[in-house]
Structure 1
Amino acid sequence: MKLVPAALEQHVNRVDRQRALIIGISTGLVAVWSVYRVFWSVYLSLTYDFVFGSLVFPIVLWGVICVAAGLTSAAFIVRYLSDSTADSPQR
């Protein structure tokens, strides 16, 4: 199952394996932080009805950031996990 389109996969495959791991972990942390922010905003909007209107924009914004960071993290982690034998020197 392909996670990213072929054009983006070509760009991801150009990145070094170690750098792909660093980018994957970093964007994964951003995705986790975004999920926390979305859940916290939803909790506040359900608890206090008067702040729901002011929290619509942050919920949508952090939701979009979460999806983008999650897909980016998955693409780079898959890049790191694949081709482990291609980067090692041949004997």
Structure 2
Amino acid sequence: MKIVPTPIAQHIDRVDRQYSLYIGISTGLLAFWSIYRVFWSLYLALTYDFIFGSLVFPIVLWGVIGVVAAITSYGFVTRYLKGSATGSTDGSTETNKV
């Protein structure tokens, strides 16, 4: 089952392997931060009844940011683990084409 749509996966495959790792780790950390923000907002909303209405927007916003970051992280980390399309795992083939 593919989580990342095919057109987006094609764009991800164009990114260098090392940058894919950096982007995957960064967006993974953003996804965990978003989960923390959603749980903290839910805790505040359930603990203090009078501020629930003002926390609906941040809960939805951070939830959407977290889902998008998790999908992006998954796409870039699988790109890194897959290796390059030519079968080489380092960027030396690109520099030797001169």
Normalising by structure 2, we get a TM-score of 0.86
Aligned match of 2:96: none
Root mean square deviation of aligned Cα: 1.7
Give how far 1:87 is off: 2.3
Looking at structure 1, the residues matched to 20 and 42 of structure 2 have their Cα atoms a distance apart, in angstroms, of 32
Q: Are residues 1:24 and 2:17 paired?
A: no
Task: Please identify runs of 4+ aligned residues in structure 1 that moved more than 2 A.
Answer: 87-90
Looking at structure 2, the residues matched to 23 and 41 of structure 1 have their Cα atoms a distance apart, in angstroms, of 27
User: Alignment length, in residue pairs?
Assistant: 90
Deviations 1:19-62 (A, max 9, x none): 00000000000000000000000000000000000000000000
In the TM superposition, 1:40-59 aligns within 5 A as 40-59=40-59
Give how far 1:75 is off: 0.3
Structure 2 unaligned blocks of 5 or more: 94-98
Aligned match of 2:77: 77
Aligned match of 2:33: 33
Q: Partner letter of residue 42 of structure 1?
A: L
- Higher-Rg structure is 2
Looking at structure 2, the residues matched to 25 and 5 of structure 1 have their Cα atoms a distance apart, in angstroms, of 20
Looking at structure 2, the residues matched to 49 and 9 of structure 1 have their Cα atoms a distance apart, in angstroms, of 43
Structure 1 unaligned blocks of 5 or more: none
